[in-house]
Amino acid sequence: MPHFFIERPIFAWVIALFIVLTGLFSIPRLPVAQYPEVAPPGIIISVSYPGASPEVMNTSVVSLIEREISSVDNLLYFESSSDTTGMASITVTFKPGTDIKLAQMDLQNQIKIVESRLPQSVRQNGINVEAANSGFLMMVGLKSPSGAYQEADLSDYFARNVTDELRRVPGVGKVQLFGGEKALRIWLDPMKLHSYGLSVTDVLSAISQQNVIVSPGRTGDEPATSSQEVTYPITVKGQLSSVEEFRNITIKSQVSAARVTLADVARVESGLQSYAFGIRENGVPATAAAIQLSPGANAISTASGIRARLTELSGVLPEGMTFTVPFDTAPFVKLSILKVVETFVEAMVLVFFVMLLFLHKIRCTLIPAIVAPVALLGTFTVMLLSGYSINILTMFGMILAIGIIVDDAIVVVENVERLMEDKKMSPQDATREAMREITPAIIGITLVLTAVFIPMAFASGSVGIIYRQFSISMAISILLSAFLALTLTPALCATLLKPHGIHQGKSSVFSAWFNAHFHRLTSFYATGLGFVLKRTGRMMMIYAALCLALFAGLSTLPSSFLPDEDQGYFMSSIQLPSDATMQRTLKVVDTFEEEIAHRQAVESNIMILGFGFSGSGQNSAMAFTTLKDWKQRKGTTAQEEADHIQSQMANVPDAVTMSLLPPAISDMGTSSGFTYYLQDRGGKGYQALKKAADELIVQANHNPHLADVYIDGLGEGTSLSLHVDREKAEAMGVSFDEINQTISVAAGSNYVNDYTNNGRVQQVIVQADAPYRMQPEQLLALSVKNRLGQMLPLSAFVTLSWNVAPQQLIRYQGYPAIRITGSSAQGKSSGTAMAAMDNLAKHLPPGFAGEWAGSSLQEKESASQLPGLIVLSVLVVFMVLAALYESWSIPFAVMLVVPLGLLGAVLAVSVTNMTNDVFFKVGLITLIGLSAKNAILIIEFARQLMKEGKSLIDATLTAAKLRLRPILMTSLAFTLGVVPLMLASGASDSTQHAIGTGVFGGMISGTLLAIFFVPVFFVTITRFTGMRKYRLGNSRNG
């Protein structure tokens, strides 16, 4: 094939231009993301049961739903949470690659099966099933700088006019409005109800009967009389539409008594549907909604779509309102990709500098400089056809591929130049001869480098997606590079290069100087190689020692899943005692906001009162603090800012504040650190579970490998228990349902039905007015009506007592559980921390067990797959080499070099205090192919020289000397190509360091050691196989 393109260079150019054009066409059409769809897709089931305790919610709602959904296909795990707000959520996580729309339909069908068994209030409020990722993409705020609108007005406007618009933006999975729209609130006065002889049930019944939708039909409808000629629709106003109409609802009307209306026993107003949340943006009251991505959606395009929609909606905003985006994760994603692109360009420049250094000539350097972009552009085309995106993983793959891509072109150009200089050949003849010599090596190297990535494509889970994205982009680049090395590169060599003697001037002076020094280096190398080839036995002993060092280094290297990144923001969870009101929480929030206001690195802060990742309640608050650009922070990191705020808030009494970084992948949990569930599998009960969790946390916080381990939940709190003497109540003619409804409406609330408010259907909610539900005694003073119409106080058959009860109940995989969150101690890895937790869990009492979730579960899976992947990669490469060389012995000589490259990677990561994470694992597998590449260059040429009649030692020495220049050139090009990854700063720098450091160290050791050890391996194995053949021959002759 190369000879065809040497004769027809235009044909080669046409192919290259076609690849370039398709690549340029593909790039703008590729989606851009920080990561591909790595996180397992999830669906959130939300249930509302106003007034229900966590125990009631758990037993009567959550457990029933969980029992049905546990049989859904492709289920990975599910977790649920119920709290005192009467809300429960069940997060169902599926295996990567699951069709989330079909999964959502399956869940809805399973819920339909159990829906009839759920409480009426739950069915009335509805069960929401939404496909959305766990992390927040961004928060959209609405505020009134002039103060013309109150929070209730802002919240209602957002619910009416903005929420649905945002839901329609492609990629949006869930819009969670903190505040809610307006509702008709009926605040009952229990004292007036008693004076009129009315019960709560009387009020609910009157509202239900007088606020109804009526469809009376029409006159003259078929079947009609023969004389009927016209028909008219009939309208009856059944549903009320104003506060005044509700006030005039008749509750009691008798001939002998005055009419009693709703206004006589209640305060009626247009209020909020929920008062559970409060929003403060940079200390100013506002309203806001959190946007969550749908599974598989692109963060950048979705965020851009949301901002575009807000721009459209701003044109119709009432005067005095303005949209804000106080929190947005998309800018970090954009910056991450831009930083990787910058690194990509820097790597290209460094690689071409190395080529110019070794080749001395612009024309020689120009050939790889042309070939490399063509191969990379072709990679983008295949990525588009494969449904991939431009993300950190694919870009890293191409950055590492730069050095490999130019390798093939460098080997061709260097060989052509050598033949032109040594044998005074013309460019065309030298190219033909060079291609005859090195085509087998190019094909062999390509097959080996491609084969090493094949096992990565079969890895499972989220880790498999990471490996696949990286390996496919690398493999495509390498295959295109080899194709161009056999087509475009020889055509360019034959047409662009000039015979030696034509170039004169300064470049020749530099070339002579460089060649003289390199010749001395080659002579020194040859002398040293001759020395070690006489001592192959000792060299193999040294090699064995190096392998032991590698094994020891790998076994002691701390592990983790992904490096923690400074994503430009941190989150703070504020938790007060369970009995704290929002007013108490607000005082702590004021202190927090004062601390934030004094931080120079902070750009903005949005605080959500009543909300927390651990659970919702008046005693909770959550802050999202966005930092200024990395360049404006003067080296201050997000971790340092989070640590400072946490240390300052530690001095605030009555509150616990945890400031955390987000997870490396936003869809894998809500914060950094590990997530561990302690499960009650033996039915021991909550108190036993809590005791086991407390003991585990005490032990964990005394462990040197762990830090900040705590129960991630609302914990226990004082609660009020009402005990109904049912027998006494029945004797007095009061039903338990009457008692239950009275208490539920007074202390909680009751959603009766709907009414139309300015064209929008909103809820009608009944609850006791605030002054009548502040103290326990006020509940006992509530009156109920018996069957004789007499009003009796609840104190007649209800008593109360105080007890301690959980404010939140969590279940994991259908078992009662407690969620434990923590992190590794300073200088320790997450893998070490997880191992420590596993060891502590071995001593749990019988009936209890622990399971990992989120990124911790993926880290476990990642660690378990690595040994198999490395073994499989080595095995695949070995088989490819065996097939290429029709030999079982030669592949051993090549594969023995692999540990030398891995050793350098382990040393580099150990020295820099980095961990064995997913990116390091990717680098290790890459080094298997790169290490084998250098060995092939020497061994392939040595075998050719032996076929030509040279002795084993002479052939090995000659091959090593002649291949030293291209080996050093290609290795140096690759090594300098990853230097920008090692030295990266700003967005995604931790990720770039993680992949660059190991590969850099591996290439240094793999090159410097390989140029001595590969000849030793080749000589040793060739002698061994030769002696074995000799002995076999003698035995047969005998």
How does pLDDT run across 811-833, given as a tens digit for each residue? 998 899 998 888 887 767 777 88
User: CA 353, CA 346: separation in Å to the nearest integer?
Assistant: 11
Summarised one tens digit per residue, pLDDT across range 753-800 is: 888 888 788 889 999 998 888 888 888 888 888 888 888 988 898 888
Among 841, 1017, 1008, 1018, which Cα is nearest to 942's? 1018
8-state DSSP, 32: B
Whether the predicted pLDDT of 331 surpasses 60: yes
Please give the structure tokens belonging to residue 161. 């006019």
Please state, as a whole number, how many other Cβ atoms lie within 10 Å of the Cβ of residue 923.
Answer: 31
What is the pLDDT at residue 720? 81
- CATH number for 2-33+333-495+512-562+860-1037 (one of 1.10.10.10, 3.40.50.300, 1.20.1640.10, 2.170.8.10): it is 1.20.1640.10
What's the length of the chain? Answer: 1038
Q: What's CA 950's distance to the chain center, in Å?
A: 58
What is the pLDDT at residue 1037? 44
What is the pLDDT at residue 437? 78
Q: What are the backbone dihedrals phi and psi of residue 157, each rounded to the nearest 5 degrees, phi first? A: -65, -40
What is the pLDDT at residue 1036? 46
Q: What is the gyration radius of the CA atoms in the chain, in angstroms?
A: 37
Q: What is the mean pLDDT of residues 284-311?
A: 86
Summarised one tens digit per residue, pLDDT across range 434-479 is: 888 778 778 877 887 787 777 777 777 777 777 777 778 888 888 8
Please state, as a whole number, how many other Cβ atoms lie within 10 Å of the Cβ of residue 281.
Answer: 20
Q: How confident is the model at residue 313 (pLDDT cuts 50, 70, 90)?
A: very high
- CATH number for 568-661 (one of 3.40.710.10, 1.10.287.4070, 3.30.70.1430, 3.40.1190.20): it is 3.30.70.1430
Q: What's CA 923's distance to the chain center, in Å?
A: 21
- CATH number for 40-132 (one of 3.40.50.720, 3.10.580.10, 3.40.50.20, 3.30.70.1430): it is 3.30.70.1430
Q: How confident is the model at residue 180 (pLDDT cuts 50, 70, 90)?
A: confident
Whether the predicted pLDDT of 1007 surpasses 90: no
Which range of 6-15, 260-269, 346-355, 650-659 scores highest in mean pLDDT? It is 260-269
User: CA 1013, CA 945: separation in Å to the nearest integer?
Assistant: 19
Q: For 425-479, give the DSSP string.
A: --HHHHHHHHHHHHHHHHHHHHHHHHHTTTGGGG--HHHHHHHHHHHHHHHHHHH
Q: What is the mean pLDDT of residues 700-716?
A: 82
Summarised one tens digit per residue, pLDDT across range 667-676 is: 666 666 788 8
Please give the structure tokens belonging to residue 309. 């929609």
Which residue intervals of 270-329 are DSSP H helices? 299-314
Summarised one tens digit per residue, pLDDT across range 856-896 is: 777 777 666 667 777 887 788 788 878 877 777 788 888 88
Q: How confident is the model at residue 500 (pLDDT cuts 50, 70, 90)?
A: low
Please state, as a whole number, how many other Cβ atoms lie within 10 Å of the Cβ of residue 694.
Answer: 12
Query: Residue ranges per domain, the chain?
Result: 2-33+333-495+512-562+860-1037, 40-132, 568-661
Whether the predicted pLDDT of 336 surpasses 80: no
**In CATH terms, are 2-33+333-495+512-562+860-1037 and 40-132 the same topology?**
no
Q: What percent of the chain has pLDDT over 70?
A: 95
Q: What is the mean pLDDT of residues 287-298?
A: 83
Please give the structure tokens belonging to residue 16. 């290259």
- 3-state SS class at 971: helix
Q: What angle do CA 973, 974, 979 make, to 5 degrees?
A: 95
Whether the predicted pLDDT of 1035 surpasses 70: no
What stretch of H or E contains 722? Answer: strand 716-724
Q: What is the mean pLDDT of residues 229-239?
A: 81
What is the pLDDT at residue 511? 67
Q: What is the mean pLDDT of residues 602-623?
A: 84
Q: Is the separation of the CB atoms in 419 and 434 below 8 Å? A: yes
Q: What are the backbone dihedrals phi and psi of residue 290, each rounded to the nearest 5 degrees, phi first? A: -95, 135
User: CA 189, CA 206: separation in Å to the nearest integer?
Assistant: 16
Whether the predicted pLDDT of 256 surpasses 70: no
Q: How confident is the model at residue 504 (pLDDT cuts 50, 70, 90)?
A: very low
Q: For 388-431, give the DSSP string.
A: --B-HHHHHHHHHHHHHHHHHHHHHHHHHHHHHHHS---HHHHH
- 779 versus 512: which is more confidently predicted? 779
What is the pLDDT at residue 668? 63
Which range of 294-308, 443-457, 504-518, 862-876 scores highest in mean pLDDT? It is 294-308
Q: How confident is the model at residue 501 (pLDDT cuts 50, 70, 90)?
A: low
Q: How confident is the model at residue 265 (pLDDT cuts 50, 70, 90)?
A: very high
* Mean predicted lDDT score pLDDT of the chain: 83
Whether the predicted pLDDT of 110 surpasses 70: yes
Q: What is the mean pLDDT of residues 598-609?
A: 89
- 847 versus 295: which is more confidently predicted? 847
Q: Is the separation of the CB atoms in 703 and 835 below 8 Å? A: no
User: CA 377, CA 296: separation in Å to the nearest integer?
Assistant: 25
Whether the predicted pLDDT of 413 surpasses 70: yes
Instruction: Classify strands 322-328 and 138-143 as parallel, antiparallel or unpaired.
Output: antiparallel
**pTM of the model as a whole:** 0.74
What is the pLDDT at residue 312? 92
- Interacting residues of 773 by C-beta distance below 8 A, sequence separation 6+: 746, 747, 767, 779
Summarised one tens digit per residue, pLDDT across range 949-966 is: 888 888 888 888 887 887
8-state DSSP, 298: -
**Mean pLDDT lowest among 9-18, 372-381, 465-474:** 465-474
User: CA 904, CA 690: separation in Å to the nearest integer?
Assistant: 47
